[in-house]
Amino acid sequence: MVFGRGLFWPFVPRFGDVNKSETGWWAKLGKGVSKRPVTVAIAGIAVLGGLSAGATGITIGLPETEQFRVKPEAVLGIEVLAEAFPAGASAPTQVIAVNDRAEDVVEAALAAPLVASAEIVNQNDDVSRIDVVLDAEGGSEEAYGAIESLRESVQAVPGANALVGGDDATRLAVKQAYERDQLLVIPLILVLVFIVLVLLLKALVAPILLLGSVVLSFFSAMGAAWLIFQNVFGMSGLDFSVFLYSFLFLVALGVDYNIFLVSRAREESANMAGTVRQPTRQAMIKALGATGGVITSAGVLLAAVFAVLGVLPLIALFQIGIIVGIGVLIDTLLVRTVVVPALAFITGDKFWWPQEEADSR
């Protein structure tokens, strides 16, 4: 209000200027996609599907020596110890059992797979503490399997009331908690997003297609990032938190860009009275021309911001930054500007079903 149009200096908009949303590069892209929407949609989905195939071999969980991008002194110490002693010697697994059955628990622990040693190291009037050294790297799948086998062995001793704790047992509990959370949170996120899209667009076909594009974009980002993590950085897996947080960020951001584009197309396709003003094809071309630059600029900037996390030493933040950065670029440059418009061109006015039928009446 203070600066008026001068706020946009040196490119000050004037009355009568050419509307670039109708003649600019993004409008031309929309017109080009509208000429061969089926071909473009198939090609775009094929690219996303190909990238998603890279996610099939993802491993969740990192050994304790791979929690940092640059090895700190503590990790170097663990590796030195592992060369001369069992891999789990630096952080023994702790078993608690009643005093009367402690010796039996030690024997049961020694019979479990990947157990290098077990001995009573401390006790009070009621319980004994038994340190169990595993012959498996801390935080590895072998260590988790050894913990589960150890639990079965020591808890089978009658009257011992044995409990298994320690670093590997804690990490196993965290891993299981994340697995349960993903089965709960991911469906809730998708349901919430679908409800919001239905209420905003007053349609069913468009939300289904948009939600499908968001999910496919996420898996393509995971696949592309996993190929980089394996072949460039030599990582053996993802941190427990990475999958869930990456899904949350990418779905939220993808839905934002969906709303920017499709709500504008909805506005262009119908006037305030609700009667159809122009077909979906023209509405989507105009919406892409008007929002393409905004969405692309926002996406590139956001991808750059998340990519900054890639310089941090913690692997979890490093992986989240790379995945989200790649995902935002895929969503911005391919899904939102090519695939979604192509799907809208293919479905035509059915894209707004059932609101399209109400408008026609």
pLDDT tens for 152-176 read 999 999 999 999 999 899 999 999 9
Residue with the two structure tokens 């001793």? 157
Q: How many domains does the chain have?
A: 2
Q: Is residue 76 part of a domain?
A: no
Q: Which residues of the chain have a pLDDT value below 70? A: 20, 270-278, 356-361
Same structural domain, 253 and 310: yes
Same structural domain, 40 and 120: no
Same structural domain, 104 and 223: no
71, with CB counted inside 10 A (0-12, 13-18, 19+), is middle
Please report the pLDDT score of residue 358 as a whole number. Answer: 46
Distances (CA, A) of 164 to 26, 161, 195, 233, 274: 61, 10, 44, 34, 65
Same structural domain, 340 and 216: yes
Closest by CA position to 174, among listed 144, 134, 133: 144
In sequence order, what are the beta bridge partners of 127?
98
Please report the pLDDT score of residue 96 as a whole number. Answer: 93
Q: Is residue 293 part of a domain?
A: yes
Q: What global pTM score does this model have?
A: 0.84
Closest by CA position to 259, among listed 210, 186, 189: 210
Same structural domain, 117 and 38: no
Closest by CA position to 292, among listed 255, 257, 267: 257
Here the tokens at position 106 are 């030690």
Q: For residues 263 and 200, is the Cβ–Cβ distance under 8 A?
A: yes
Q: How far apart are CA 83 and CA 148, in angstroms?
A: 25
CATH of the domain at 236: 1.20.1640.10
Q: Is residue 11 part of a domain?
A: no
DSSP one-letter string for 160-196: ---EEESHHHHHHHHHHHHHHHHHHHHHHHHHHHHHH
Q: How far apart are CA 29 and CA 22, in angstroms?
A: 11
Q: For residues 306 and 328, is the Cβ–Cβ distance under 8 A?
A: yes
Q: Is residue 13 part of a domain?
A: no
Determine the structural domain holding residue 336 and report its residue range: 20-62+179-360
Helix (H) or strand (E) holding 127: strand 127-134
Q: How far apart are CA 90 and CA 88, in angstroms?
A: 6
Of 135, 165, 195, at which residue does a domain stop? 165
Please report the pLDDT score of residue 361 as a whole number. Answer: 46
**Which amino acid, 56?**
T
Q: For residues 332 and 303, is the Cβ–Cβ distance under 8 A?
A: yes
Same structural domain, 224 and 356: yes
Q: How far apart are CA 168 and CA 165, in angstroms?
A: 8
Same structural domain, 192 and 289: yes
Q: How far apart are CA 119 and CA 95, in angstroms?
A: 10
Same structural domain, 147 and 294: no
Q: Is residue 276 part of a domain?
A: yes
